Structures are given as structure tokens and as C-alpha cells.
Structure 1
Amino acid sequence: MTREQAWNLLTEYNQEAFHLEHAQIVEKTMMYFAEKLGYGDEKDFWGVVGLLHDLDFEQYPEEHCIKSQEIMREKGVDERIIHATASHGYGLGVDIEPEHEMEKVLYAIDELTGLIGAVVIMRPSKSVQDLELKSVKKKYKSKGFAAGCSREVIERGADMLGWTLDDLIAQTIEALRTFQD
């Protein structure tokens, strides 16, 4: 599936600017990690997975990661994309466990990119370029801040990858710096 085909599918089911922006942030973050982790030849595939991970969320929030499988199968989407996107809902509505390193990265960074984005909005610079790990950690500890971003999922994702929480946050900040601002 090309990026253009993925975008067309995404915009068929998503119109809200917030959801489209989040999809693109996760797409680019996934591409960054593909390169960083030695999967550069699969960078575009990782990006498509990131772009489509929340395909069903806007229209079917109660069936998130379930309805998307049905939609993608009807459209003839590669089963690897279907498995990968559905696996980011592991333990939250589906029992499809992230297996490949790519799926674990998606699971870990989906919520985290949202939390980091919320931290950036609160900064005087409104930029990720000068964002430090300690700033994210401070907000991370405040349960009321970006309450919709599950710390449990972020931590479980770091564990799946065998990374510390600090490493996951720092690397995700680095990823966001490569394309934001």
C-alpha cells in the first residue's frame, strides 16, 4: 500500500484536523524509528502503519481497533498492516498482542506522542526543539495533565521494547524534533 492510498483511506473515515494531524505525527515518528532501529528498507511500511493506526477511531470509538480490521479487509489491505494497527489496542479492546518490534514501537509511541504534544503546547516556545526529558517527566507524573494519554500503555510499551521509560521518552522527543516546527 502506498502512502497516497493509505492517506485516501484515512481521509475516507477521518475528517477532524486533530485526528489527521495525530495520524501524520505517528506516521513520521514510526518512520524515524524504522531508520533508527535498522529497518530503513521498511520505513514506508512503518509509516503507513502509523498513518492508519487510528483509522476507525473518529467514526467508531467504541469499536476502535476492531472496526478498522473489518474496513481494511474489505479494502484488501495487507494483513500485516491490519495486524500491526490492531495490535496497538492490545489489552484495551483487542487481544492481538504486538509481536514485531514495529508493533511494539507503535504501541509505545501512540499515547506518548500525544502527551509530548500536550507538553509542547504548554511551553513558552511552543516547540519540541528545546524540550527536555525532565520537562516531560514532570508533566508525566501529574495524572491530571493530558489525562487521556495512558501512562500504563506507555510504560507497558517501553517494557515490551525492553527500554526504560526515560529512553522511550527521550527517543520519541528526538523523533519529533526531526519533523516538527
Structure 2
Amino acid sequence: MPTRNDAYALMTKHVKNESLQKHMLSVEAAMRAYARKYGEDEELWAMTGLLHDCDYEEYPDLHEHTQIAADWLRADGYDERIIYAILAHNDLNLATHPRTDLLSKGLYACDEITGMITATTLVRPNKSIQGLEVSSVRKKMKAKGFAAGVNREDLVKGAEELNVDLNEHIAFVIQAMTEVADTLGLAGTTEARQEAAS
């Protein structure tokens, strides 16, 4: 089984867009946290998050997206559970890959919410995820023009499929992302950090 370093190298080989890389790192952090909560394999869950969109930059067509990634991951000897969950997070594959296992449900639930949390953080004056409130994220979810790329229905459906309260889910993912805020570029502006430190 490839290591996390192998997974990161594969991801960065195919994904050059920094925002997309950070999205995948966000999902990795959220998935790792949920694995810990559920007593599941942290590395397996984290790698699923890290790799879930590894083909998206080169193959954005939803009929190809995840199918190409599955081929790459199989060729490199990744666990079939990772491949299944990645295929299952694309709704076009649900006939063959329904989200019936916890790993698939976790990935689907973490995917869109990380995007909404990131977008909400970046419009804050200090650009820091530290202290971000669930209510702020919920408010932005209602704003139609805001973060238009984030599918609100998928976001709500993801929490439902995972059987978690949406507010609790948002709070949980904010906490997971806060732990790697520097890596995600969500630790705030230099000025804000200096102010907080003084």
C-alpha cells in the first residue's frame, strides 16, 4: 500500500492549481478527524480525502472524473476501499458505486463543506479560520451568489447521509481544518497573526 507521501506526490503531479490542492488537503484533514472519531483507519480515510479529486484538473468532465483517478490508483496498488469511495463521491457513479459504507459517506459529507468553510474564512477581515462560527457559515450558505461552485444540496445531503446534524458537522470540520490552518492558507493575514500574538 502506498504511503501518504506517495499519495501527496501523485496528487501534486496531476493537480497544479493551488486552490484545488488546498481543497484536497482540507478534505484530508476532515476525513482524518472523522476516522479518529469513528475509530476507523486514519491513514486510509486521510488518503481518500487527499486523492478524491486528483484527476479533476486534467479531467473535469464528470463522466471521466473519478474514473481516471480509479485507474491511476489501481495501477499504483491503492486499497480498493479508497478507490470505491472516490468513485462513489461522484453522483454519476451511484448506480455501480452506491454510498453504503461509512468511508464513502464520510468523503461525500466532507467534500462540499470544506469549500464553503474556506470561502467563508477568506471573506473574513482577518482571513483566519480561528474562531469561525457555524452561524457565519450557515449565513453564507443562504447567500445565493456566494461561493457559487459549492453545491448547497450536496452539502446538506452529505450530512444527512453521514447521519450527523449539519451544525455539528460544520463545527467538526472547522475544528479539523483549524488544526492545519497554516497548510491551508487559513491562518490569517500576517497583521492579524501579529495582533493576536501581542
Taking only the aligned residue pairs, the percentage that are identical comes to 40
Question: Which runs of 4 or more aligned residues in structure 1 lie more than 3 Å from their structure 2 counterparts after TM superposition?
Answer: none
Amino acid at match of 1:111: E
Matches within 5 A, 1:45-124: 45-62=44-61, 63-89=64-90, 91=91, 93-95=92-94, 96-124=97-125
**Deviation, structure 1 residue 125:** 1.9
Instruction: Tell me how far apart the structure 1 counterparts of residues 152 and 131 of structure 2 sit (CA, whole Å).
Output: 23
Amino acid at match of 1:43: E
1:35 aligned partner: 36
Instruction: Tell me how far apart the structure 2 counterparts of residues 140 and 146 of structure 1 sit (CA, whole Å).
Output: 8
2:5 aligned partner: 4
User: Radius of gyration: which is bigger?
Assistant: 2
- TM-score, normalised with respect to structure 2: 0.84
1:166 aligned partner: 167
SS at match of 2:44: helix
**Deviation, structure 1 residue 74:** 2.6
Instruction: Tell me how far apart the structure 2 counterparts of residues 11 and 129 of structure 1 sit (CA, whole Å).
Output: 27
Structure 2: 5+ residue stretches without partners: 182-186, 188-198
1:136 aligned partner: 137
Amino acid at match of 2:89: H
RMSD: 1.3
Instruction: Tell me how far apart the structure 1 counterparts of residues 65 and 9 of structure 2 sit (CA, whole Å).
Output: 19
Number of residue pairs the alignment of both structures matches: 177
Instruction: Tell me how far apart the structure 1 counterparts of residues 14 and 180 of structure 2 sit (CA, whole Å).
Output: 25
Structure 1: 5+ residue stretches without partners: none
Which shifted more, 126-135 or 94-103?
A: 94-103
Deviation readout 1:60-116 (Å, 9 max, x if unpaired): 000212221122223332211110111111x2x212222222221110111110111
**Deviation, structure 1 residue 46:** 0.9
Instruction: Tell me how far apart the structure 1 counterparts of residues 77 and 42 of structure 2 sit (CA, whole Å).
Output: 21
SS at match of 2:150: coil
2:25 aligned partner: 24
Amino acid at match of 2:113: L
Instruction: Tell me how far apart the structure 1 counterparts of residues 28 and 60 of structure 2 sit (CA, whole Å).
Output: 20
Instruction: Tell me how far apart the structure 2 counterparts of residues 44 and 76 of structure 1 sit (CA, whole Å).
Output: 15
- TM-score, normalised with respect to structure 1: 0.92
